[in-house]
Structures are given as structure tokens and as C-alpha cells.
Amino acid sequence: MRIIPAIDILDGKCVRLSKGDYNTKKVYNENPLEVAKEFEANGIQFLHVVDLDGAKSKHIVNHKVLSSITSKTNLKIDFGGGLKSDEDLKIAFENGAAQITGGSIAVSNPELFLNWLSTYGAEKIILGADCMDRMISTNGWLESSALDVVDFILNYEKKGVKNVICTDIAKDGMLQGTSNELYKEIIDKTNVNLIASGGVSSINDLERLKEIGCEGAIVGKAIYEGNITLNELQKLC
């Protein structure tokens, strides 16, 4: 299982939120590049970068931060948040993203998302399936839909999606454990590469996600709050 630390960017800084609420932001570092370099120095190869300003603005905002990380580290970055147009995607890839994550766009404009899938290929386009009480949420988790998360993933798997990041918003940033039953259901009912996100509180949570069969796990606040050390992650990697 791939271990994928998360860097969420707001106002150019490395922050974390609780349940996606912008009012709960906590700044962990003024310079996301410093954080990324520390991850790399401890054997991490992958990074999940979220443009929170972009998610709210509905277009890419923090591409310069992305560029600074990709040009000064060898980390393979999947980038998401506010990618709503062909131009946004072009900017993300030009600034070094190895993959992009599209969530809201897959709900609001499926035709465009499928065009990205066709143009760039399934290895470069990740489906973001962020949900609250199983219902897909969009636009920085500020809006909800009537789409069940498993049905949503199944529908896109039929259309060629191979990689999915699923975040249970109720768990995100809460350090109270992961949505193992939901992830197991997704793995049982689909053949996608599932990257679990939200709620990781300890190394035990990561071990359990590995047992379930997740292809990757995104870890955020548990690292920043010291619940999981970089040395522990290095051993797990």
C-alpha cells in the first residue's frame, strides 16, 4: 500500500481543516515546500496536494506552490482542488503534477471529466469521491448531491476510471479512525485502485487499510499532530 502524505494549501500555507470546514483551519507551516522536503528526506515518494483556495474559487490558484514542490523535489504529486477547465488541467500538468484529482467536475460536468480521461489516460486522472453520509459532496465540500458514493464510483469505473480517492468527510481531520466498512464495500463491489482518505489516527489505522486492500492511504493531520512519526511511516513504506 502506498503511503501518501497530504499538504492542503490555503493562502499559500500548509494547513489542515476539520471535516472540510474552512473556519477550523490550523496553519502548520508557512512554507509547504519545507514540509514536502521533509517528507522526501524520510523516504516518502508520493504526495497529495489540495488547493483549498482553488476549491473555493472554482479554478486553480496555488499552481506556484505546486511548481516549487515539483521543481525542488522528486515527489510524485497528485493535485486537486478547483480544477474545472481544460486550462486548469493544463496549468496543473505544466507545473509538474503527475496526476490530477477531479471530484466536483465529475458531478457537474461529466462530459468534460470523461474528455480528460480520454485525453490524458486513466493513470493521470483520479476520480475524487468525497462523501458525507455516503452522498457525494462537491465544491470544497460546501455543496452536497444526491449521488451515492458507491454508485458514483461504479458508474465511472464502467467509463474507464481506474484510480479513486474516497474521503469520508465526517472523518476528515478528526483523528478518530477510518471508514473501513465503506472502503471494504467499495473494494468488494468495484475493481478500482482505492486510495483511502480521512480519519487516519495511528499506524494501526494504516495497517487495517492495507489489510482491507486499499491501494493507497492519504495521511494528514495524524502526521502534523505527531500521532504518526515520519520514522514510523518510513518503516511502513
Residues designated as active site: 8, 130
- Residue 200 contacts residue 206 (beta carbons within 8 Å): yes
Say which residues have a Cβ less than 8 Å from residue 167's Cβ, sequence separation at least 6: 128, 129, 130, 131, 197, 198, 218
DSSP at 197? E
Coil, strand or helix: which one is 80? Answer: strand
Comparing CA positions, the residue from 199, 145, 212, 193 lying closest to residue 169 is 199
**Measured between alpha carbons, how far is 14 from 97 in angstroms, rounded to an integer?**
18
C-alpha grid cell for residue 197?
482518505
Only one residue has cell 469520508, namely 168
Which helix or strand (DSSP H or E) is residue 78 part of?
A: strand 76-80
- Residue 91 contacts residue 62 (beta carbons within 8 Å): no
